[in-house]
Structure 1
């Protein structure tokens, strides 16, 4: 992968898939917080203040996802001549705003990757606001990393199994299924299948049961 010249086609595909799934990650992280604070979560109780659930890291990850997606939506929209109301974005609820931003970025990924030296106000290592010039490739890889971070957090809730069957789309044995989920994901090509459809494509017995 040569980030100075952009991304290869496979990496572009992975980035697009990650951006498309960020709104779902956001919702699942919200549900994750709800489960963690439903009575079984650990709390910080070393002070006289009210107990605080130790899930602030998840809320911080949600905030990073929204901020990064919105941060890149404005220059992409400007480059494409697409309306983007910055003030309205600041006043919008984070969930719908994230969906709008990710749709824009996924549909116009080549524009994002072509951006160079975009000045952005970000937090530095000392937790101070500073202006940095960043490329669109940096933003794309950052969004990909946020998707992977969300996946690691959510994997705590349920087991992820690597299935032996190759992916019906690309033929690579990289299909994963989360315990209890009704979908499976190919980690190589990024295609998702409904569980019943995946079984029909890969299990001869499932096809016979359906035909009988």
Structure 2
């Protein structure tokens, strides 16, 4: 694939909700302009930035239960849970803080603005939790800023940035732009949901959406309706069953038809309209 074609595909690749199968590879949705992410991921990013603040707090509560306890005498949670219990939530919470701070700093520089001053920590806050309260303010401030400056984030030019390698043992220099930042934040939000124990069992349908034709119909476990992650259309279960019967019947008709292949593409015009599976003698007449 050429660089020009790659630049006009959603950067999330196989994680793109509107991904497309080309040959044997799943690729991100095709874009009309090199915006970096598709419209669906743009909306998901806006929602993710509104949730990262709460996810950060939930992850920090897993590693520091004392944050939720009142100051003063009385029972307090343990400040140091066992290492296997606190490692992944702590690492993910720190990644949320780091990524939000880094990309918010770059967008503020592009907009020539400064962050608001931190408020003073209330005296009632336990001394062990004062730093966490300041971090909580930073996470909320930066996520709110990025949500209001999404277009500025996506327009950030490519620049060298120091990043940890996938093993977390070595720091490298990577050349990233704003679209890469959007993908990083989206994937981090998805990962944080799982670490915080809020992931849901979601069923994916093999049928395309009847409205936008994207293969992104999904349903939460136990729900009776399907919804399209691309256009938001709600499709009742009985309609999904009807579409399945129609599709299976059409595949059977195509298999028995001598005018087209197994997918209904005509032998005489593979790129034209699909075959209506009439018998050969009907075509001849």
Picking from 53, 72, 88, the partner of 1:23 is 53
Distance 1:154-1:12 versus aligned 2 partners, 3 A rule: same
Deviations 1:99-118 (A, max 9, x none): 11111111110111111212
- Secondary structure in 2 aligned to 1:130? strand
Q: CA deviation at 1:158?
A: 9.0
What secondary structure does 1:120 align onto?
Answer: strand
Gaps of 5+ in 1: 44-51, 86-90, 175-212
- Are the counterparts in 1 of residues 155 and 179 from structure 2 also a CA contact under 8 Å? yes
Structure with greater proportional helix content: 1
- Structure 2 gap segments, 5+ residues each: 1-8, 12-33, 66-76, 117-130, 202-219, 237-285
Give the 5 Å matches for 1:27-176: 27-33=57-63, 43=82, 52-84=83-115, 93-124=134-165, 125=167, 127-155=169-197, 161-165=221-225, 170-172=232-234
Indicate the residue corresponding to 1:2 in structure 2: 10
How far, CA to CA, are the matches of 2:200 and 2:45 in structure 1? 24
**Number of equivalenced pairs:** 160
> Superposition RMSD on alpha carbons, in Å?
3.6
Per-residue deviation at 1:53?
4.9
Aligned counterparts of 2:97 and 2:222: Cα–Cα separation in 1: 30
TM (normalized to structure 1)? 0.62
When Rg is computed on C-alpha atoms for both structures, the one with the higher figure is: 2
Query: What SS is found at the alignment partner of 1:131?
Result: strand
Cα deviation, 1:129-181, whole Å, max 9, x if unaligned, reads 333221111111111111111111223699885532567x944369xxxxxxx
Higher relative contact order (CA 8 A, sep 6+): 1
Using the alignment, how far apart are the partners of 1:136 and 1:122 within structure 2? 15
Quote how far apart the aligned CAs of 1:56 are: 1.0
How high is the TM-score relative to the length of structure 2? 0.47
Contact 1:164 1:173 in 2 (8 A): no
Residue deviations 1:13-63, cap 9 Å, x none?
01111122100111111233357xx68x994xxxxxxxx453211101000
Preserved contact between residue 19 and residue 105 of structure 1 (Cα < 8 Å): yes
Structure 2 contact 146–153 (Cα < 8 Å) conserved = yes
Whether the 8 Å CA contact 2:89–2:196 is kept in 1: the answer is no
Distance 2:174 2:185 in 1: 17
